[in-house]
Structure 1
Amino acid sequence: MTMDHAPDRFVPVVDLSEGHTPHGRAAVAAAIGRACERSGFYVVVGHGVPQDLVRRMHEVTRAFFALPDAEKDRVAHRPGVSGYRRLGGTTAHSIDRPSPPDLCEAFAVHVTGDLDAAERARLGDRWATWTLANVWPERPPGFRETWQAYLAAVRELAADLMRLSALALGLDEEFFADKFDHDGSSLAANHYYPQPRPPLPGQLRRGPHTDFGALTVLHQEDGRGGLQVADRDGRWRDVAAVPGGFVVNIGDLMALWTGGRWVSTMHRVVNPPPGDASSRLSIPFFYLPNHDAVVEPPHSLGTAGTGRPAASVTAGPWMSGKLRKLFAAS
């Protein structure tokens, strides 16, 4: 059986290795469905992503952030290019909450970032990050190769989680496949550096927000807390790192796709206690639909019992609007 055996657990653990038979796969899908109805968050283990690859990913990424600022700035985010940001944005702005900038630096690449300029130009406006060219640092050695291997592995995992999600919703397993066959997904690393000075009032490592794509697959370091999820009563709950696991959460577009029966949940990354000089690294993969995918629930899910017509958006313009809010002042 899956490890989703504690009905009151807000962020359950689901063992994907139990899904190798039709019965097991149905049980895994059901566990994912329960989690997405309750909190929109779950942790996967038994996922098949090699632990050595995860370890190498963290090693090269920490080595990159340890480089001098001047060297990191050589691959800085700039018009037409995705890369390093000294300021990781102001995440709370994406939900129209006033906030100081988040206390982190970041590096990001996109599935589409190595396409030629003409192909990328067809993917949206300048706020659409998936239209940007990837820029890769020369140091540390093996950075690009490791990131590309990790990106391929978590992208494959996310695609399978979407198939399981379709089963959980009573849909054909391949229901989402043609909505992600030229996806604009991105892989990022957030370095939450030590805080020698007290933060500004209301300033966090990552402000409260919901993700706005389909799925986020996050690896966070063992023993380095900080991620919190809001429950339905507005209480913040810690999400501990599970050794060998990935934290998965659905975003706003996935909630819309389900007619509201699955929830895209507010989360944040809090500051360390005063006097704690540790840093934290998290590596989220954002699985984003095709920029021209129409996101609307199938008729079987459309009203989620509300009796109201289902909402419908085109993924690219909708996500671009969120990104504009997040990074406009960066």
Structure 2
Amino acid sequence: MTSEADLPVIDLTRDPAPQLPAVDRALREAGFLLVTGHGVGPGLRAAIRETARTFFHLPAAVKESYSVRVGGRGWLGPGAEANGYAEGTATPPDLKESLSFAAEEPIGDPVVDAEWFLPNTWPAEVPELKPLLDTYLAQMKELSDRVLDVLGVALGEERDFFTRHTGHPTFGFNVNWYPGRERTGEPEPGQFRIGPHTDFGTVTVLDREAGKGGLQVFTEAGGWQDAPYDPAAFTVNIGDLMAGWTGGRWRSGRHRVLPPPADAPAEELMSLVYFYECTPGTTINGIESHAYLRGQLDAIRAD
């Protein structure tokens, strides 16, 4: 039986100072922590899931009209992505489908706008999804900046050490659907709902559902362990650019999502995953942030 990782819960409504040692320890060891006191209501998240589930249960021919490759805005169908590729692991494609969205408010630079700030695609079959996500994504940006301010202080820097670089950031947002085995079939050897990888950017804010085929995190001390679940909390992890920003003090959180379990083959889960980045043109330890992001997105294409 897999053990559960020891991750702290950080309450954003409390004075952050006493919580900072736990933040630092968690990001040194695992790159993950849990966040409560975020102010994002459960009703909104439930409504997004219900609406997205309607889309994912549409016939494949309908969804195909919204099909895109990794990094696009639309539907990523089965076999589109293999996250293990990002760390050089030759895994089978991930067992999931995604609806993907991203930042779309132009920055004013035609070249940057054409790559990073394009209009999103909104499925006509679920018109209620757009207003729900407009609200949610605005709350995710606010929450991500609050988390980054805490991280700046935990690092021993000014509060705005990171957020001074998020004046006009990019972001990616996936509604990840993990269907049961009746749709995916028997997993191949080494196949996961999401293969082992680290995220690429600054912070990821994840709203999860509990399940046997759920999230695991990796640490040197504990190996692969189940991520603790708290329905009131968001799971937050840092990515490669944040790890580089700290000079390697904090680790990019390595993680995976287990395949549909044999003893619960009908298990169906859905995650809301917000990948927060910095303003295009930000250079981190000599690395141009968005050149790195584009390279990693290209790397995980399985189609």
TM-score using structure 2 length: 0.90
Residue 214 of structure 2 corresponds to residue 226 of structure 1 = yes
Residue 42 of structure 2 corresponds to residue 56 of structure 1 = no
Residues 13-162 of structure 1 aligned to structure 2 (within 5 Å): 13-18=9-14, 24-77=15-68, 81-87=72-78, 88-112=80-104, 115=106, 121-123=111-113, 130-162=116-148
CA distance in 2, matches of 1:271, 1:214: 26
Q: Quick check: 1:45–1:246 contact (8 Å CA) kept in 2?
A: yes
- Secondary structure of the 2:19 match is helix
Match of 2:296 among 322, 325, 329: 322
Q: CA deviation at 1:149?
A: 0.8
Gaps spanning 5+ residues in structure 2: where? none
- Secondary structure of the 1:285 match is strand
1:284 counterpart residue number? 273
1:210 counterpart residue number? 198
CA distance in 2, matches of 1:164, 1:67: 41
| One-letter amino acid of the structure 1 residue matched with residue 174 of structure 2 | A
Q: Quick check: 1:115–1:133 contact (8 Å CA) kept in 2?
A: no
Q: Could you give the per-residue CA deviations for residues 124-162 of structure 1, whole angstroms, max 9, x where no partner exists? A: 7xxx6x354311112224111101111111111011100
Q: Quick check: 1:191–1:281 contact (8 Å CA) kept in 2?
A: yes
- Secondary structure of the 1:216 match is strand
1:174 counterpart residue number? 160
Q: CA deviation at 1:222?
A: 3.8
| One-letter amino acid of the structure 2 residue matched with residue 313 of structure 1 | I
Q: Quick check: 1:10–1:39 contact (8 Å CA) kept in 2?
A: no
Residue 245 of structure 2 corresponds to residue 257 of structure 1 = yes
| One-letter amino acid of the structure 1 residue matched with residue 9 of structure 2 | V
| One-letter amino acid of the structure 2 residue matched with residue 69 of structure 1 | A
Q: Could you give the per-residue CA deviations for residues 280-329 of structure 1, whole angstroms, max 9, x where no partner exists? A: 11111001112210113xxxxxxxxxxxxxxx2110111111111112x3
- Secondary structure of the 2:90 match is coil
Q: Quick check: 2:209–2:269 contact (8 Å CA) kept in 1?
A: yes
- Secondary structure of the 1:48 match is coil
Residues 286-325 of structure 1 aligned to structure 2 (within 5 Å): 286-296=275-285, 312-325=286-299
- Secondary structure of the 1:122 match is helix
Gaps spanning 5+ residues in structure 1: where? 1-7, 19-23, 297-311
Q: CA deviation at 1:232?
A: 0.8
Q: Quick check: 2:70–2:300 contact (8 Å CA) kept in 1?
A: no
Q: CA deviation at 1:234?
A: 6.0
Worse overlay, 82-91 or 163-172:
82-91
**CA gap 1:40/1:110 in 2 versus in 1, 3 angstroms:** same
2:8 counterpart residue number? 12
- Secondary structure of the 1:253 match is helix
CA distance in 2, matches of 1:50, 1:224: 25
Q: Quick check: 1:120–1:132 contact (8 Å CA) kept in 2?
A: no
Worse overlay, 65-74 or 210-219:
65-74
CA distance in 2, matches of 1:80, 1:322: 10
Q: Quick check: 2:5–2:225 contact (8 Å CA) kept in 1?
A: no
Q: Quick check: 1:218–1:282 contact (8 Å CA) kept in 2?
A: yes
| One-letter amino acid of the structure 2 residue matched with residue 317 of structure 1 | A
**CA gap 1:194/1:105 in 2 versus in 1, 3 angstroms:** same
| One-letter amino acid of the structure 2 residue matched with residue 266 of structure 1 | R
CA distance in 1, matches of 2:41, 2:69: 33
**Higher CA-based Rg:** 1
Percent of counterpart pairs with the same letter? Answer: 35
| One-letter amino acid of the structure 2 residue matched with residue 218 of structure 1 | L
| One-letter amino acid of the structure 1 residue matched with residue 249 of structure 2 | R
**CA gap 1:97/1:79 in 2 versus in 1, 3 angstroms:** closer
TM-score using structure 1 length: 0.83
- Secondary structure of the 1:75 match is coil
**CA gap 1:229/1:120 in 2 versus in 1, 3 angstroms:** farther
